[in-house]
Each structure stands twice: as C-alpha cells, then as structure tokens.
C-alpha cells in the first residue's frame, strides 16, 4: 500500500491524514487535568479497517480502532496528557507512517514512526500539527 501526500483541492481518490488538537475539559481514560483532545483523521477510499498504534496505547492497534465516517474517511479522538507521542497507522493490516506527519523518528524495524506533541498550556487554540 502506498501512502500519497495530498495537495488540497485534488480529486477524491486519495489518502490523507492529519492530526489536530485542542484543549479539552474532559478527563477521560484516567488522564490528568490538562489533557487535550487529539483528533486523528485519515482518508483512503479503499481501506476497510484502520487503527492507530503508538506510545500512547503501548503499540496495541486493537486498543484504538478508527471510526469510519463514509466515503473512505476515518476519525478517532484521543484524550492525552502533554507529551511527545510516536505512532503508526494500521490500514488493512499494514503498518504505515502518517504521510503528512511533520515529524518522524527512525524505529527499530528500519522504518520511521510518525511523531506529534501535545503541549502543556491552559489556553491552547485549535491548531493543526
């Protein structure tokens, strides 16, 4: 499976991921005050199963399945405390880095992991990372 970088306003036959985050007042999954929601979006018109595995869930894809929205779009909202997180997308059983990740790090398997940061702060604006 190839990851394709999408340029805005291209046709709908594409794969696209992005992560957005904003401060949340929720305190779920045992996370401490100051946790932020991280919205993970993925797009692939041929995908039948998408999950996320990373340092936030001990690399267990079965713990974080994305929700299909239709038309090849997938979504998952995570609530995470401040920190730096590595992750990969599992699309139909294939482990893939996020093609739109702004940061990556080498992994022990000869590939790369995507990286995002959840910053400290009380008044964080919504923003794309």
User: Which tens digits make up the pLDDT trace of 52-92?
Assistant: 999 999 999 999 999 999 999 999 999 999 999 999 999 99
Q: If you search the block for the tokens 């190839």, which residue do you land on?
A: 2
Nearest CA to 56 out of 106, 102, 118 is that of 118
Are the CB atoms for 117 and 105 separated by under 8 Å? no
pLDDT recorded at residue 30: 44
Are the CB atoms for 95 and 108 separated by under 8 Å? no
Tell me the domain boundaries of the chain: 16-128
Q: Distance between CA atoms of 3 and 5, rounded to whole angstroms?
A: 7
**What's this model's pTM, rounded to 2 decimal places?**
0.72
Class of domain 16-128: mainly beta
Terminal Cα distance for the chain, rounded: 24
């Amino acid at each position: 499976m190839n990851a394709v970088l999408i340029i805005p306003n291209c046709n709908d036959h594409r794969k696209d991921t992005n992560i957005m985050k904003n401060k949340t007042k929720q305190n779920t999954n045992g996370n401490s005050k100051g946790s932020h929601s991280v919205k993970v979006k993925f797009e692939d018109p041929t995908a039948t199963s998408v999950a996320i595995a990373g340092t936030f869930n001990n690399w267990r894809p079965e713990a974080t399945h994305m929700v299909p929205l239709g038309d090849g779009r997938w979504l998952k909202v995570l609530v995470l405390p401040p920190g730096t997180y590595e992750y990969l997308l599992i699309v139909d059983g294939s482990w893939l880095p996020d093609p739109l990740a702004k940061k990556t790090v080498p992994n022990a398997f000869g590939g790369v992991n995507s990286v995002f940061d959840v910053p400290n702060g009380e008044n964080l604006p919504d923003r794309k990372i």
